[in-house]
Amino acid sequence: MHNIENQRSQFIRPCTRVWLGLLALTSVTYGIGRMELGGTQIVMLVLIITFIKGEMVAGFFMGLRGTSLLWRAIMASWLVIVGGGIAVAYLTGLK
């Protein structure tokens, strides 16, 4: 019984790992904003991080990782469309 409790305390559940990953990526984007970094490359980096976070949420917390490719593609397409729209608006504003 004591051995089982030790194994459980050393085990990190998948939802905790995903949450920690989301927390780390959010900390990176927060740090970028706090340091007032800017420029096209930084904006694209933040958009890529946002896409990765969206995929993590959709895949794990929305349960899409166990569904058909169609549903995952729909969610990924939505993220690309929204992120692409933001990128286009940003790049258009630079001109």
Can you tell me the distance from the alpha carbon of 6 to that of 8, in angstroms, rounded to the nearest whole number? Answer: 5
One digit per residue, the tens of pLDDT, for the chain of length 95 reads 556 655 665 688 889 999 999 999 999 999 999 999 989 999 999 999 999 999 999 999 999 988 999 999 999 999 999 999 999 999 999 87
Per the CB < 8 A criterion, the answer to whether 75 and 58 are in contact is: yes
* Domain residue limits, the chain: 2-94
> Considering just the CA atoms, what is the radius of gyration of the chain in Å?
18
